[in-house]
Amino acid sequence: MKHLTVPVKDTDLQPLKIGEEILLSGTIYTARDAAHKKLVELINKGKKLPFDIDGAAIYYSGPCPAPPNFPIGPCGPTTSYRMDSYTPQLLDLGLKIMIGKGKRNDNVVESMKKNGALYLAATGGAAALLMDCVKSSTVICFPELGAEAIRKLEVKNFPVIVATKANGETVYR
């Protein structure tokens, strides 16, 4: 099993293989479709994004409220295709890793090829286990979205698999 720390550089992603198990550590951001829509609206208005997207990882998750003594509640992945219409614009700005479940459409895969990005799959149904990998959680924007607000997470040994590489190779074919 390989370890990967985010944010990343292109050279960090190139040696990874399809289906390879990764333990992800560092900073990741949660964002689902409502937050993606707001991010793209900011881009279209020429405004700055609320976090540095260059080399960043976005986790498609809307965490549950945190139980006592935990920074976050269960935080499983959501279905990624719901973000597909917004993803190419974020990839063009430097997004390097997306984490979710399910395959991506051809447009996203082409944009991943163009931008050297990676799609990682997190295990659906393991939300309570994944929350143990989250060491801190802070809402950084769009608090009005509740569970879909963008959160900055610090994670350690967050388990994922390489689902789609920048060359278009994927576990979904």
pTM of the model: 0.96
The pLDDT averaged over each successive group of 10 residues in the chain (173 residues) is 95 94 98 97 97 98 93 94 97 98 96 97 88 96 96 98 95 88
pLDDT of residue 158: 97
pLDDT of residue 5: 97
Q: Helical H runs in the chain?
A: 10-13, 33-44, 87-92, 106-115, 127-130
> Quick check: 70 and 127 in contact, CB under 8 A?
no
Catalytic site includes residue 36: yes
Q: Which fold has domain 2-164?
A: fumarase (3.20.130)
Catalytic annotation, pick one of 6, 8, 24, 36: 36
pLDDT of residue 113: 96
For the chain, give every domain's residue range.
2-164
